[in-house]
Structure 1
């Protein structure tokens, strides 16, 4: 059940006491600070209406006249924040923002490299205002190098990083992606960098500048392709890809080995209704899964043919295989097909539209991913909730996105101590609002109101920690992580390990299945030659352990003091081997447990 407003207010918050000054715009930056707000940080968004592109892009609720408070993109990416408007080109405005930064913990921005410095708010100046400030910037190419002043947006960075080239059909132009995923990925990198830097500051007393490049983030997602060039001397090309969604197509060259003869069936099948989104994806990775699918289909005679009794046979006869599955799939609704397959242990999921996800998906509904909130201008709508669940410190939407300048009086009078006369003068002289634009009614109400009581800024998070140099390289030094993960979790483990955490990767005897993923060194498949595995498992230690026997379970439970356990098993597997979420919380009460599936 959704939390009540009273429960939300009483919930402990992971970032309570942390103040973030948010200069972000458009998508990547606001996406990051949205989640910092969901974790309990006080996020104060600094805007100027003549340059806030995010407020003028995206749709508008039906029947509404567009203005700076109606854009769906902005209202989606800026929940959980306060909003102020201030002209940073004015001496008065800049001074007020500097006072705000001096009592804050974090500054976040995703402008081009020279922007904040041109305002007098570069890192050197920020350190003078707050010596232990955490400053996270994300420019297209970062703040150093010959391209540092080049301008870019997410799709452009995707193209330059190589991701666009790798997406497309053989012999066709690059297809690109249907969404600016580097913006969303970049936002999560920003949030991760903030949390990492706050951890380091809490240990050492030191702040830092995290200089992110959106383009380079895309490069890191090309890891296997990059290693194919550096190790095998072979540039990426799509000609080796199989047609459609298949994993492999016999007779085609296996250039790059990005997909292999590992699974069949492996496709999306048209379902009953034949609408634009009436499809369901089905994959069988094992003989058991294939036999289960045959049973779900009612054991038709064609599926019993000797041609389909082995993986090699199914790969060789994929056309007939897909035709048979398609004939069955189109007799069922996509959700019905999913339920039948999943109940029998066959991986299958429907192709969902946005409307399907919001209105029809029971799992998203159960996890409260869409939360209704009241916005003072556009009314009550469903907004995205946090995509992660925290057992002790809930991450949720605390409030809708701010109207432009909504919290000016609260911040400038109540927190920074301006008199009401000074506040009114800030509107008259153009400090808080351009003279060329009309005021919104709520702004006029603020100007006509009484003085807001002064409560002050308080102080940002204080720590009785002596300032000292890092004892070891890496901001996550001192954290031990036990990783039981495949392709989903191992990238998270890689990032933590590369940043100094001691990540101990636990694999089953014989190695995990991701060691079978190509490309391979010199095109020779082997568990120690997978370039994909190399890329996603840098900086880790590795052990093998049979967790299905009592000795293996006992060892894993008694391993010396892990601070984090990272797993992406399916829940039923984790419970089967005796390592469900309850047991780690009892054995290591201070450990954090991360489960994805």
Structure 2
């Protein structure tokens, strides 16, 4: 990667909004036991951690969270792969290795559960029930615990509950791929990365916060059940909504929401109201088009987009960079945004000013730090950071079992010898 990292980027261990650093974070004191892997739940628990929760991550003794095996990757001090998926979703957590299929491993989780406010998992629906670690098992020993499940299709009611699912699977089933597919071209898969993962993770966080508030009022825990497909049906709301109102096959209706060329790349314009259209044509030097019969109705904007509007907009933009074009349009109140490359995002002034990138030093001798997104939730009375690096596999097994369960080193050693932990 050749991008120049801005010196203003937030670094691991930094504190932003330092005036609030002495304030207690909103989820301080909330403890989360996370039986998690890949992205959806790890993203959610990392966000809970950024808001002050303590997160203990449970991983399989052999290889750990499958996100560790993702690519690209760095290596930890022991030479083990630590993949990008893991690196961007597991800051400030502790890691313990427990074999959930081992009888003693299962008992460890049941013994730990009463010490935590939230027990969460993102295995395929029914997996932990079969292992004796489902909602009923946990609530029997920890009735105040919130039990969060994140899966492709939820814990009840779905005919697809036996299907394994990653984000692109649920995204496809939300209808948005077909909605946006062009002609006979195959669907564009994962155009926004793990939208299904982050979307379901975000709803998971909201569900946990609601359940914690409910527990304050009632003293009782409950199950929070998040289906990735449910999250995407909600996020991709235009698919069923437009269908019900007569729009089919990706038709967005008569509005300008298209890409246009500037001197150095592409930018996007969105115009959906007559007053915005008037400002657009004024900006590009054709104010007379407001009275042009071709544009009397909004449908005319689309009918004459490629033959009239696009050539005029792109001729106007040809003497401007994409940022300059958007800036000029913004001055008139027209919504426009440049299509940034990866390097442009990394070096963007907004991203730096809002602390939206955190530099994580590598441990394998490569100078370029790993960049992970910062916390998008900005609270005036809450500081951001300091965050610590991702945990190495099983780094905190002894520490957690001794502190939480009162085991001594000999007992922990016996569990390790049995294969229940690592």
Q: Is the counterpart of residue 205 in structure 1 residue 219 in structure 2?
A: yes
Contact persistence 1:373–1:400 (CA under 8 A)? yes
In the TM superposition, what are the counterparts of 1:94-173 in structure 2 within 5 Å?
A: 94-145=106-157, 146-170=159-183, 172-173=185-186
Contact persistence 1:167–1:176 (CA under 8 A)? no
Q: Is the counterpart of residue 336 in structure 1 residue 316 in structure 2?
A: no
Whole-angstrom distance in 2 between the partners of 1:42 and 1:259: 44
Whole-angstrom distance in 2 between the partners of 1:173 and 1:196: 40
Cα deviation 1:145-186 (Å, max 9, x = unaligned): 343232222211222332322221256554444233111111
Aligned equivalent of 1:180, options 194, 197, 201: 194
Cα deviation 1:178-225 (Å, max 9, x = unaligned): 233111111111111111111111111111112222223333345454
Count of aligned residue pairs for this structure pair: 403
Whole-angstrom distance in 1 between the partners of 2:394 and 2:194: 28
In the TM superposition, what are the counterparts of 1:553-572 in structure 2 within 5 Å?
A: none
Whole-angstrom distance in 2 between the partners of 1:208 and 1:377: 43
SS in 1 for 2:85: helix
Between structure 1 and structure 2, the one with the greater Rg is 1
In the TM superposition, what are the counterparts of 1:524-543 in structure 2 within 5 Å?
A: none
Q: CA RMSD in A?
A: 3.1
Q: Name the structure 2 match of 1:390.
A: 379
Deviation at 1:335, TM superposition (A): 1.7
Quickly say closer, same or farther: Cα 1:23–1:377, change in 2 above 3 A: farther
Query: TM-score, with normalisation over the residues of structure 2?
Result: 0.84
Whole-angstrom distance in 1 between the partners of 2:386 and 2:203: 20
Aligned equivalent of 2:420, options 415, 427, 431: 431
Cα deviation 1:236-258 (Å, max 9, x = unaligned): 741xx4xxxxxxxxxxxxxxxx5
Contact persistence 2:70–2:82 (CA under 8 A)? no
SS in 2 for 1:77: coil
Whole-angstrom distance in 2 between the partners of 1:93 and 1:163: 41
Whole-angstrom distance in 1 between the partners of 2:287 and 2:210: 57
Aligned equivalent of 1:402, options 391, 407, 410: 391
Whole-angstrom distance in 1 between the partners of 2:84 and 2:226: 27
In the TM superposition, what are the counterparts of 1:358-397 in structure 2 within 5 Å?
A: 358-359=346-347, 361-374=348-361, 380-396=369-385
Which consecutive residues of structure 2, in runs of 5 or more, have no partner in the other structure?
1-7
Contact persistence 1:87–1:430 (CA under 8 A)? yes
Cα deviation 1:274-296 (Å, max 9, x = unaligned): xxxx2011233445444444454
Deviation at 1:301, TM superposition (A): 9.2
Deviation at 1:337, TM superposition (A): 1.8
| RCO comparison, higher one (Cα < 8 Å, 6+) | 2
Quickly say closer, same or farther: Cα 1:294–1:227, change in 2 above 3 A: closer
Query: TM-score, with normalisation over the residues of structure 1?
Result: 0.61
Q: Name the structure 2 match of 1:193.
A: 207
Aligned equivalent of 1:346, options 320, 324, 334: 334
Deviation at 1:122, TM superposition (A): 1.3
Whole-angstrom distance in 2 between the partners of 1:122 and 1:215: 21
Q: Name the structure 2 match of 1:55.
A: 68
Contact persistence 2:17–2:384 (CA under 8 A)? no
Contact persistence 2:124–2:151 (CA under 8 A)? yes
Deviation at 1:42, TM superposition (A): 0.4
In the TM superposition, what are the counterparts of 1:283-298 in structure 2 within 5 Å?
A: 283-297=270-284
Q: Name the structure 2 match of 1:268.
A: 259
